[in-house]
């Protein structure tokens, strides 16, 4: 499947953070494809606190040729000691078709081109589909850890070559 990523604008993030669908999107969107309100709110908060917009950015994952938003991805916070964490989600109707792998490859390439030394993803142990995405991109699982909500996750890491 051919997809590309498009940065979500600050006005769109504001609408998404209020659980509203952005009014003037240039793309149609699949059911459950837009980022959840908490993701948009986190990005807006980080940017308002002075973190770099490029590292707090959220993207639409857009399927070609019909320009349908089928998911979202992005950086979870500013670059810290050369490392940045990513997150992603694909609409239920479009899972298992390679869209997440293609989009995350683009996101990882952007991270490395902006100076990241490593990209990390925290994945719930039972989320095998997400684990397959990062495995295909040569991330290595370095083991379980507790995330910021004290939930056990597997930490996956990809070092810049």
Neighbours of 10 (CB within 10 A): 13
Nearest to 93 by CA among 5, 30, 28, 36: 30
- What CA–CA distances, in Å, run from 26 to 8, 90, 112? 11, 19, 28
pLDDT at 161: 85
Q: Which residues contact 41 (CB under 8 A, 6 or more apart)?
A: 17
CB 69 within 8 A of CB 28: yes
Nearest to 34 by CA among 6, 66, 55: 6
pLDDT at 149: 87
- 159/139 Cα distance (integer angstroms): 8
pTM of the model as a whole: 0.95
Neighbours of 85 (CB within 10 A): 19
pLDDT at 29: 96
Using only C-alpha atoms, what is the Rg of the chain?
Answer: 15
pLDDT at 24: 83
Nearest to 111 by CA among 49, 52, 54: 54
For the chain, residues with pLDDT lower than 50 are none
Residues in the chain: 161
pLDDT at 55: 96
């Amino acid at each position: 499947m051919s997809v590309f990523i498009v940065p979500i604008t600050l006005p769109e993030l504001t609408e998404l953070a209020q659980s509203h669908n952005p009014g003037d999107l240039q793309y149609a969107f699949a059911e459950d494809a837009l980022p959840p309100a908490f993701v948009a709110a986190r990005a807006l908060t980080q940017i308002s606190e002075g973190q770099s917009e490029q590292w707090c950015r959220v993207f639409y994952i857009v399927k070609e040729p019909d320009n349908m938003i089928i998911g979202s991805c992005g950086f979870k916070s500013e670059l810290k000691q050369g490392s940045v964490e990513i997150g992603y989600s694909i609409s239920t109707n479009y899972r298992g078709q390679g869209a997440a792998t293609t989009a995350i490859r683009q996101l990882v390439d952007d991270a490395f081109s902006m100076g990241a030394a490593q990209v990390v993803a925290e994945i719930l142990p039972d989320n095998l589909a997400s684990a397959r995405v990062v495995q295909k991109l040569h991330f290595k699982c370095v083991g379980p850890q507790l995330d910021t909500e004290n939930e056990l996750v597997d930490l996956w890491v990809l070092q810049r070559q």
